[in-house]
Amino acid sequence: MGTQTPSSPSPAPSDTDDKIDPNAQVPKVDAPPQSTPECLAEQEPNDKNTEPTAFTKCVTGELSSKTDVDYLTIKAPDGVTDMLIDHTEPDGTIQYTVTIANSGSAASGSGGTSTNNFNMSFTDKAPQTKVKAGATYLFALKWDNMSQGGTATKRPYSLRVNFQ
């Protein structure tokens, strides 16, 4: 018994004309419209001031529960004097507190008065603030229980900081 070769040449597996263009098969990725691309997304964990999410211009995130705390840092560039903060929270109030991050004890305390006594907090419109060029500002975002703010179980936010 030998192997039997089929005698009738079956037509080659259909070599259809419409070639499959692999690029054409890739579905277009629709960017979610909720945030501008230049905004960094927060990176959890950021629940301590020792593990903040560093951003340069704009950051988005959410307080994922009443106990979530988000620490964010931004460095004031050289030559600036003022910081302008723009923030939105569509689903409930967030308490913002801004201080200067402790970057070790680089400053040898000369002069008596510490220039690191920067502390401001706000839930509403943030005032334009004098800043120190080169300093790193630490934002702490906390769920604000004192204010009414919807019944959402999460509080998303978008924070934008401009220096001038």
Q: Which span (17-25, 26-34, 56-64, 95-103) binds Ca ion, by CB under 5 A?
A: 56-64
Which CB, 42 or 100, lies closer to Ca ion? 42
CA dist 97 → 22, 31, 85, 136, 144 (Å): 50, 31, 12, 14, 11
Residues 47, 49, 84, 129: which binds Ca ion (CB under 5 A)? 47
For residue 89, state whether it binds Ca ion (rule: CB under 5 A): no
How far from chain centre, in Å, is Cα 119? Answer: 22
For residue 46, state whether it binds Ca ion (rule: CB under 5 A): yes
Spell out where the chain has E strands: 40-41, 53-54, 58-63, 69-75, 82-88, 94-100, 119-122, 129-130, 136-143, 155-163
Q: How far is the CB of 52 from Ca ion (least distance, A)?
A: 10
Q: Which span (55-63, 94-102, 108-116, 142-150) binds Ca ion, by CB under 5 A?
A: 55-63
Q: What is the rounded CA–CA span in Å between residue 162 and residue 21? A: 45
Residues 70, 76, 83, 85: which binds Ca ion (CB under 5 A)? 70
Contact positions vs Ca ion (CB under 5 A): 46-47, 61, 68, 70
